[in-house]
Amino acid sequence: MKAFRRHWVVVFVKMVAGAGLVVTAGCALLVAMVEAGQWFSSQAVRRDKAEICAIFDRAIADGTASAIAAGKYTVGADCGGASYYVRYRDAAGETQGYFVSRIGRDRWEFQRLTDGPARQVFVRERVSAE
């Protein structure tokens, strides 16, 4: 009888240890997947910011955007990376900028952050890697 009980105790301990190992492995896999997703998301945001910088530099060069912003603007993103902003300081030291959002898959819309009805908006094609 004692051997029978000892056998079931050993089986029970092995089952609990196996279940703990499975739960631990599952949690580790979940953490790895979340980290990988965040890394890919941050890379997409970095590519978008670089593309916005290139487009905004061209807009400054052709006179669409303010020449005051040349070389001293920053591009930022909201938490999800769905929209971005371009900020700079004007000659008076006031913060100026543009709200940038994607239109479809192939265009960016730059909307000037000013009050009133004179909001300047311009749309540019996305930069294509050829």
Tell me, yes or no, whether 47 lies in a domain. yes
Domain count within the chain: 1
Tell me, yes or no, whether 38 lies in a domain. yes
Tell me, yes or no, whether 42 lies in a domain. yes
Q: Strand 95-103 and strand 107-112: pairing?
A: antiparallel
Tell me, yes or no, whether 15 lies in a domain. yes
In this model, does residue 4 exceed pLDDT 70? no
Confidence of residue 7 (pLDDT cuts 50, 70, 90): confident
Q: What's the whole-number average pLDDT of the chain?
A: 85
Residue written as tokens 């061209």?
58
Tell me, yes or no, whether 29 lies in a domain. yes
CB 106 within 8 A of CB 114: no
pLDDT in tens, 35-89: 999 898 888 888 888 999 999 999 999 888 888 888 889 998 876 667 899 999 8
Domain that holds residue 62: 2-125
In this model, does residue 106 exceed pLDDT 60? yes
